[in-house]
Amino acid sequence: MRRSLRKRFVLAMAALCLSSSAYGVEKDTPKVRTFQFTYAATVIGLKPGQMARIWLPVPSSGPAQDLEMVSKDLPVAGRIEKEKQYGNRILYLEAKANDKGAIPVCVVYRIKRREVKGTTNHATKDDAQQLKRFLQPNRRVPIEGKPLDLLKGKTLPSDEMALARVCYDVVKNHMRYSKHGIGWGNGDSVWACEQGYGNCSDFHSLFISLARSRHIPAKFEIGFPLPAKHGSGAIAGYHCWAEFHLKDKGWLPVDISEASKNPQQSDYYFGNLTENRVAFSTGRDLELVPKQAGPPLNFFIYPYVEVDGKVYSQTKIERRFSFRDER
């Protein structure tokens, strides 16, 4: 009897392991990366002494990363605010241009980033209050219309994990990672559906549309990528991914654009994230604190500036991002 029970236990555990790996949810010890990240920019093209309002995204500590602000070099002290809808932190300052008509800003962070292996966290009271929001559409992320045509004719399982995997595979098979032409990079689900290519924002907006349309809460996260090779260097631009929520598991990540570029890691990027990144903000259609004069931000990763009550062009904001591994 004991031998029979032991055998059944071993078989059950093996089945559980196979079930997890089939969905790409890894259970190994997560890798950890500790590095300094420099977020710098210069607002140019102003008149000497001209005033500007500047908002900068500030990363937060959480299940996947620990954060410390090491230093900041700003023309004025500024203050850190927190917006209520998603809990994003914001560094806000009002400053005058120097005699060259510029306003430089620089913040250095020390970040300990952990590889995500499965759920980032289970449902909390705060999550419960936000889950309804993560089922609703955004301006460029509808939950009806053209994007849903991609699910027509598909067998849609009742199991939430399996259903999320169908949405993941549909996007991965439909989309091609490319930055040619115009229109990509806005995280527009309809555009991505019609064109079949784009960058990470387009991939994950389309996934969020599909997941939300099937009553699976999903959210958009954006930050910066780091090269897999440790060292130091410049970072050209942002990277984003998504998370979806399961009732009995909590939040699980997907990085479909990376899976598209690395097909051999397709299973891994469903439910897992490498440690080679840092998250800065969550959500779309953002109202900043203090509230900006312009429309809600599509997403918030680069400095946002207003001058004389109007949105200041990103072409007049020089950006410089870099990293340096500590070990």
CATH of the domain at 43: 2.60.40
Same domain as 159, residue 299:
no
Same domain as 188, residue 268:
yes
**129: pLDDT confidence band, cut at 50, 70 and 90?**
confident
> What's the rounded mean pLDDT across residues 232-251?
95
Domain presence at residue 168: yes
162 has pLDDT over 90: yes
**327: pLDDT confidence band, cut at 50, 70 and 90?**
confident
Domain presence at residue 23: no
Cα→Cα distances 184→7, 116, 143, Å: 54, 27, 20
**12: pLDDT confidence band, cut at 50, 70 and 90?**
very low
Domain presence at residue 246: yes
Same domain as 122, residue 78:
no
pLDDT tens track for 52-81: 999 999 999 999 999 999 999 999 999 999
Report yes or no: 320 and 38 within 8 Å, Cβ to Cβ: yes
CATH of the domain at 203: 3.10.620.30
Same domain as 140, residue 123:
yes
Domain presence at residue 2: no
Same domain as 305, residue 265:
no
pLDDT tens track for 279-311: 999 999 999 999 999 999 999 999 999 999 999
Range of the domain at 144: 117-274
Report pTM.
0.90
Domain presence at residue 280: no
Percent of the chain with pLDDT over 70: 89
Same domain as 268, residue 128:
yes
